[in-house]
Structure formats: structure tokens, C-alpha cells
Structure 1
Amino acid sequence: MRFTATLAHFAQRLLGYPLIGIGLLIIAIAAWHSMAPQELVIASGPEGGYFHTTALRYRALLAERGIKARVLPEENTLLGLVEVNKLDSHVDMAFVAQRADAHTYPNVRSLGVITDEPLFVFRRTQTPRFSRLADIKGMRIALGPRDSGSYQLATEVLRAYGVTEDNAVFHTRGLGESVEALRKGEVDVAFILQPLEQPIVAELATTPGLELVDVIDARATSRVLGAGRNMGVVRIPQGIFDLRRNLPATDLTLPTEAVSVVVKANMDPGVLHHLLEVMQQVHGVSNLDREAGSYPRSVGGQLPLHPIAESFHRAGLPFLYRHLPFAAANGIFQLFLLVLPLTILGPVLSFLGVPSPLWFYKETKYRLWLVELRTMLRMHALHGMLTGRQQRRLTALRQLLDQQALGLERCRQAAKLLPP
């Protein structure tokens, strides 16, 4: 009997501060998880391309914040998106500059658009001059690897002009191989989807024997092919690549494709906030083709925007992340994510008649008190007295019961004052 009463008393003492203990435990676990070394795996494009150089900049800046990033070069950029969508894949982030359907990639979220890449068309000067893409039938054309953004956009544009593999020779080479083939004369025309500030663009635009083509109907092209993707038009200023040599010799018009950063939908919030700040740091400055503050932007992507990215683009870092260390802020944030569903679920369960967790807590506490009191009754019936420890415990229980009774009596008095 004494053992039962002691066990009940011990259990009741353990039950005294359960919510505080559980809350502190969750915060500690979440904070420990946030402070644990994080590795972000980034699927980039081909080496030397914009996706790859951007991923390397991200890696360097994330390292300053204590986050290790690993960059995986990939010629077929669509594969990066596919890997991010896989729940069991180790790839966390990729770049997208091609048609992407949200239903096909349900586990992927966008962090925003970081630039708009022009579709540059370079030709060898030995080939006949043209300004309409319909005139390149019969030529050898470098388009980029299959499943890359460059190949997808270029083939759709050419198809709109009636240029297909039936009346032209398509070469599906990587960026470096396409550039080399154009220089050597192995292809007549090369389509390259890269931002204006990318060094390879200026290098090709100033190479003797090569010429950047003005796509005069780029606006119509972007309108016709823009359904289901985010195309636009950019004007390349005269002389922007070389003022002394006046390259290009005139303003050029080219179609563009929006580039988005995409991540797994369940990425850790702390890492996400770091990544969003790095994106702001890299892309928020002025450049050859943009003013400061133009990027990153929340509109123009094809995949759903991550809720954390949406909040960041609208209001910047949350209060906790601005005023607390990232690890502590992330621990509290993750606790909030755990508690929030309970606050929503609680009223629903109450409406359905399911008792609340607080009811279970109180009911368990009262039953433990009852076990102790019954043990004391048996002891008193057998020996006519209680032990010193039991007497002290009885005094404490009476005080607790008086407090409960006083609270109930006050509630009854307040209820009587209300109209029936």
C-alpha cells in the first residue's frame, strides 16, 4: 500500500510541470537540430554557365554563415528539378529556366526569380546574314543538351518558325562544346541561354568571325510561346560589350526566359532564411541588365512560391531572425510550427466532443490524488494513525483541494449573477 501511495505521489509530482518540460525539450531539440552542421546540395548547370557560377557564389556566402554547400554540375538542367522533387533524393536546390508544371513537381517550391536570361543567337560571319529565324533552315545549329533550358526554349522557338530536325541539323552539345564548335566552324549557329553579365556572352560577342543576331520579332515570339512559361523581351544596348569597337553595332532585341531558384518544399526554415538572404546579397545589386533591387522577385516563377519566401519578399526577415541568433530563432520557429496545428486541431476536437489534453491532464492528476487518499484511509483504519510523511502529504492535499473548491465556488457565484 505504501509503495502504491509513494508511486502515485511520485507520478503526481512528475505530472506537475509536464507542459513546461515538454516545451523546453522541444525547444532544446529544435535548437540543437538548427545548430547541427547543415549541408545544402545544389544541382547547378554546366561548368562555366550561369547556374554553376551562381551556385559557387551561394556556396561561398553560405560557408560564411556556417552552412556547408555542395555543388553538383549537370549539363541537363531539368534533371536538377527532377532530383529536388524526389523525396528520397539528397539534392535540395536547383535552378529552373524552362517550362515546369506544378502538378508534375508537387514537392518543389520556388524562392523567386533571380534573373531573366536572353536567348542569344550567335552566327558565324561566313554564313548568310539573317534576322528572322525562319531563314536558318538547312544550317547546323547548336542548341544545348536535351532536357536543358536552352534546348527546350530554342527548339520551341525554331518550331514556331518552321525549323525542325527535318530541315536543319541539330547539335545537342553542352555549353562548352557548343562554344568550341561555333569557333571551329563545326556549327553555323549557336543558341545560348545565359544572362547578359555572364563572361561567355561578352567573349563570344567580341570574338572575330562571330556575330550576335538581332531577333527582330522577339516580342511576337515571346507572346506566342509565353503560355505556360515566363518569357519576356530584353533590349541589348549598342556598344555594351565593347565601346571602342562598338559591339554590338546596333541595339538588339532578344526573347528572355525567367530563372527561378527552387528547393524542396520541406527544407529546414533556418537554412531557407539563410539562403534567401544570400540570394538578396547576390542578385539585389545593379548589373549590366538590371537596376539594384530588381531581383530577386516573387512574381514570374512557374512553380508555387514557398510560404517563407513569400513572407521574406514582402517583409524581410521575421522578428525572431532579426533579433536572435539563427539557431535560437529557428528552434522557437519550429516549436511554433509544432504548436500551431494543435491550436487549430483543439477547437475542432472539442466541437466533435473529444476531451482536450488539459482535461486528460486534470483527470489524471485527480485520480492520482484519490489513490493517495484511499491508501491513507486504509492505513488509518488498520493502525488508527498516519505516518509523519503521510500527515504532511495530507495537509498539502487539503490545501490543494481547498484551492480547487474556492475556485469552483467563485465560478458558481459569478454564474449566478448572470441572467438565466
Structure 2
Amino acid sequence: MLKMLVKFLKSHQLMQFIIYSVAAGVLGGALWVTFQYVDPLPPSKVTIASGGPNGAYYGYAEQYAAYFAKQGFELEVLRTKGSMDNLSRMAEPESTVAAALMQGGITTPEAHPDLESLGSLYYEPVWLFHRKGLKFKGLSGLKGRRIAVGADGSGTAHLVRTLLEENGVTDETATLLPEGAGSASEKLLKGEIDVLFTIAGINSAVVQKLAAETGKVTLHSFDRAETYARTHHYLTKLTLPPGGLDLINDLPAEEVTLIAPAANLVVREDLHAAIKYLFLLAADEAHGKGDMFARPGQFPNSDAALFPLGDEAKSFHKNGPPFLMRYLPFQIAITVERLKILLIPLLTLLFPLFKITPPAYRWQIRRRIFKWYKQLKRLDTKAYELTDKKEARKMLRQLVAMDKMVLETSVPLSYTDYIYSLRLHIRMIQQRMERMVGNDADGDDNPVA
């Protein structure tokens, strides 16, 4: 067993193993150094601030969470009071909230330089319902009225108070009630308040309910919608066609003009790029089908962004998802994308390694054979000077021993021609010595023993 082990350790397989191991070690070391500069893996769990459990934000956040789960990530949906509350939570220095749904126009980019938008998601119409019979022209006609402007911390309250103040309607000139549409709708139907504002989708339960109460409530059409849209660039003028809420009951009976901000998906600037793309893919699935106010494929987009778009969002809205994310599972795609930088040292090193390693291996094999030529040359030089037959017999024994060791030298089959060439040269010197010795009867040594 020991002899077999020694033979293996002297064999060409070991030499080949050493050479290729050194090459692999060099390559592995270079990859490890480069790996230090590759982006870390994305977090497996992130948190998104949504809104109340009955609001659209919460429903969409749940859809995002389901999409994240399909891709092997966890998205925790945090219930909040709404857009302003979401903004406040993301602005906290030690906040763990990575993303949030927010209403357009609630702040300025300069106030939060560490936040960026992934884009606009859908229009959020501003609905103004008032008790039937209430006559007023424009929002300035609401002075002295009891108005539900939306719950504190909501984007509704922020926008409605802004529009009312521009029309001279303030806490001093009217009764502004910080109530959401859920509780305020019952008060409107009972006549306890005069006006209700809400920002919601066309399928909102409150909107559908109040629109159907045509005997008690009227849906207001904003006659100055164009002015508001030009004054506040985050607002868009929308048109609700007759029957847009209910075709069977023809609700509304006439065309209604609305104004609408756009919902935004906001993330922290330092959020991992892969998670940003995952949010964009989730948003595309949730909002890409369109609705009454947007054609299919219109959202998500880069219009009316609350904060500047990050590089990932710009690329997504211009070119769509990265190439690999279109054809590979998300986890595999981000792994390949993450390791792309490793291709630089890999390709740089593989080319010379592939060129150097085979010659180095050949050199090592030939070196094991050619080392015998040094001894053979020494014997050949000595043979020319020999005249003593006893010394000739001694050299013959050395040549026979050398021939045996050369024959036992392990080399790949493709290199055996070197072995036989060396043995041929050994034999040439042997023949010369044999001629010198001749058939000397006085010799007591067998020259080839």
C-alpha cells in the first residue's frame, strides 16, 4: 500500500493536480477580492406603510405582499392613518419602513432628500358629495358649512385643506371636521354635515354608496378643475362619463368633472436595487390593467412623481424590466445580475490561465524525462575517454540501471515517445561500451547484470 501511495505521489496525476490547483487558487482569490465590491444580497424582509384596513392603499399593499411571497421575499404591510402618517414614519431617522404608498403633492422633494419615487400608480379622484339642495358656486361657496375634510394624517385632509384655504375656506370661516369618509358618510346622509370630501377609487364602497343616494346626496362637478390642475401640477383633470359609476342605474346621470392626484410608491434611497425592481414588478402587475380613468399600460409611470425617480425606476419606465428579469425567476435573475461584476476578473484571468496552464503541465512532464539527459551526457562524455574495460563494465551496469528507472517513469501515454527516445540514446552508449568490452573471457562481471 505504501509503495502504491509513493508511486501515486510521483505520478503525473499529482503534477497535473498541483498545477491546476494553483490555477484554481489564483482564480478563486481574484474572485474573492472582487466579491468584496459586489452589492450585498437583498434583505429577505421589508416593510411597507399602507393605510387603514378599509382603504385602497392597504388593499394594494396586500397585493404587493402576495407578489413578494411568490418571489421568495416577505413584505410586511403596516397599517397607518394614511399618506401624511406614512411620510412621517419614513422620515424618522431610525425607521424600519422601507417603502410607502403616498398621495401626490403632500410634500416637496427638498424636504426629504433621502426619499425617491418609483413612479405614479393610479389616479385618486377627489370626490365632493354634498347634501341635496345645497347651492354653491365653486369651493369658495362652502364658507359657513360643516365640512368633513378627511382624517388627520391622511392625504385627503392635506389636499382638501389646501384647496379650501385657496378659496378662503378655513377653520375661521367654516366648520372643518377631521373625519374620514367611513364615519362622515352616515352623518351626511342624516343631514348632520353639509359636505364630505374623500379621495378614493371609483370602486370605493363609500363612493358607490353615496352616489346611489340621489335623493339625499349630490356629486359635485369641479367647474374649475382645469385651473386646479394648472396651479398644482400633481393634479389631473378627469372626466367621469354618465353611467361611469353604475350603468344599470345611470349613475351619474350627467358627466362629472373631477380632479385627482396620483398615488405614488415611495422608497428609501438606500433600499437595495433588487427590492426596488421587485416593487416595480409588483406595481406593474397590480396597476397595469387600467381603470375608468387610465388605459391599460398607462400605469405605473414616471408622471406626477412625488419625489425624483431613482435610476432603477427611470430604467424600468423607459425600457421595462431588466433583460434577465423578463426570462428568469426573480431570485436567479438578481443573483446573476449581482455577480456580473465577477465576469471581469474571471474572463481576464481565465484567458491567460488557459494559455499558461497546459504548457506548464507539459514542461513539468518533459522536465521529469529530460533530467536523465544530464546524467546521460555526463556518461557519454566519460565514455569517449574510457580505455579500461573494467570501468566500461561499470558504466554498462549504470546504463542498465538508468534504462530500468527511465522505463518505470510514469508519464501520460502521449509522452511515451520521449521515454523511448531517451532509452534509444541510452542503448547507443551501451552498444559502444559493449564493443569495447567485447567477449573478454577474463571478465568476471556480467556487464549487463
Does TM, scored on the shorter chain, surpass 0.5?
yes
* Superposition deviation, residue 76 in structure 1: 4.0
Q: Say if 1:69 and 1:182 are closer, same or farther in 2 by CA, change over 3 A.
A: farther
Counting matched residue pairs gives 321
Determine which of 220, 225, 238 is the counterpart of 2:227. 220
1:47-196 pair list within 5 angstroms: 47-97=53-103, 98-125=105-132, 127-196=133-202
One-letter amino acid of the structure 1 residue matched with residue 163 of structure 2 = V
Larger radius of gyration: 2
Counterpart Cα distance in 1 of 2:32 and 2:76: 38
Determine which of 205, 209, 219 is the counterpart of 2:211. 205
Q: Tell whether 2:31 aligns with 1:20.
A: yes
One-letter amino acid of the structure 2 residue matched with residue 232 of structure 1 = T
* Superposition deviation, residue 24 in structure 1: 5.8
One-letter amino acid of the structure 1 residue matched with residue 30 of structure 2 = L
Q: Say if 1:232 and 1:88 are closer, same or farther in 2 by CA, change over 3 A.
A: same
Counterpart Cα distance in 2 of 1:142 and 1:338: 59
One-letter amino acid of the structure 2 residue matched with residue 185 of structure 1 = G
CA contact (8 A) 2:130 2:196 kept: yes
Q: Deviations over 1:173-225 (max 9, x none)?
A: 2342223332333321011111223333222211352221112122123323x
Q: How big is the alpha-carbon RMSD for the aligned residues of Structure 1 and Structure 2?
A: 2.7
Unmatched runs of 5 consecutive residues or more in structure 1: 1-11, 343-420
1:286 corresponds to: 290
User: Secondary structure of the residue that 2:227 maps to in structure 1?
Assistant: helix
* Superposition deviation, residue 13 in structure 1: 9.6
CA contact (8 A) 1:297 1:313 kept: yes
Q: Tell whether 2:308 aligns with 1:304.
A: yes
CA contact (8 A) 2:145 2:195 kept: yes
Q: Tell whether 2:271 aligns with 1:267.
A: yes
User: Secondary structure of the residue that 1:103 maps to in structure 2?
Assistant: helix
1:258 corresponds to: 262
One-letter amino acid of the structure 1 residue matched with residue 169 of structure 2 = V
Determine which of 240, 243, 247 is the counterpart of 2:247. 243
* Superposition deviation, residue 314 in structure 1: 1.1
1:362 corresponds to: none
Q: Tell whether 2:51 aligns with 1:40.
A: no
* Percentage of pairs with the same residue: 28
1:351 corresponds to: none
Unmatched runs of 5 consecutive residues or more in structure 2: 1-21, 346-449
* Superposition deviation, residue 134 in structure 1: 1.7
CA contact (8 A) 2:47 2:76 kept: yes
- Please identify, of 319-328 and 95-104, the stretch whose mean Cα deviation from structure 2 is larger: 319-328
Q: Tell whether 2:320 aligns with 1:330.
A: no
Counterpart Cα distance in 1 of 2:52 and 2:122: 17
CA contact (8 A) 1:46 1:175 kept: no
CA contact (8 A) 2:289 2:296 kept: yes
Counterpart Cα distance in 2 of 1:102 and 1:152: 17
* Superposition deviation, residue 244 in structure 1: 3.3
One-letter amino acid of the structure 2 residue matched with residue 273 of structure 1 = Y
Counterpart Cα distance in 2 of 1:338 and 1:13: 17
Q: Say if 1:338 and 1:52 are closer, same or farther in 2 by CA, change over 3 A.
A: farther
Q: Deviations over 1:346-373 (max 9, x none)?
A: xxxxxxxxxxxxxxxxxxxxxxxxxxxx
Q: Deviations over 1:21-59 (max 9, x none)?
A: 3346777x94xx34x7x2221111222222122112222
- Please identify, of 176-185 and 282-291, the stretch whose mean Cα deviation from structure 2 is larger: 176-185
Q: Say if 1:244 and 1:329 are closer, same or farther in 2 by CA, change over 3 A.
A: closer
CA contact (8 A) 2:127 2:219 kept: yes
Q: Tell whether 2:324 aligns with 1:320.
A: yes
* Superposition deviation, residue 327 in structure 1: 2.8
* Superposition deviation, residue 99 in structure 1: 2.6
Counterpart Cα distance in 2 of 1:151 and 1:162: 16
Q: TM-score, normalised by structure 2?
A: 0.65
Q: TM-score, normalised by structure 1?
A: 0.70
CA contact (8 A) 1:111 1:276 kept: yes
Counterpart Cα distance in 1 of 2:343 and 2:203: 46
* Superposition deviation, residue 290 in structure 1: 1.6
Q: Say if 1:271 and 1:187 are closer, same or farther in 2 by CA, change over 3 A.
A: same
Counterpart Cα distance in 1 of 2:186 and 2:49: 24
* Superposition deviation, residue 263 in structure 1: 0.8
1:329-348 pair list within 5 angstroms: 329-335=333-339
* Superposition deviation, residue 253 in structure 1: 0.8
Counterpart Cα distance in 1 of 2:174 and 2:108: 29
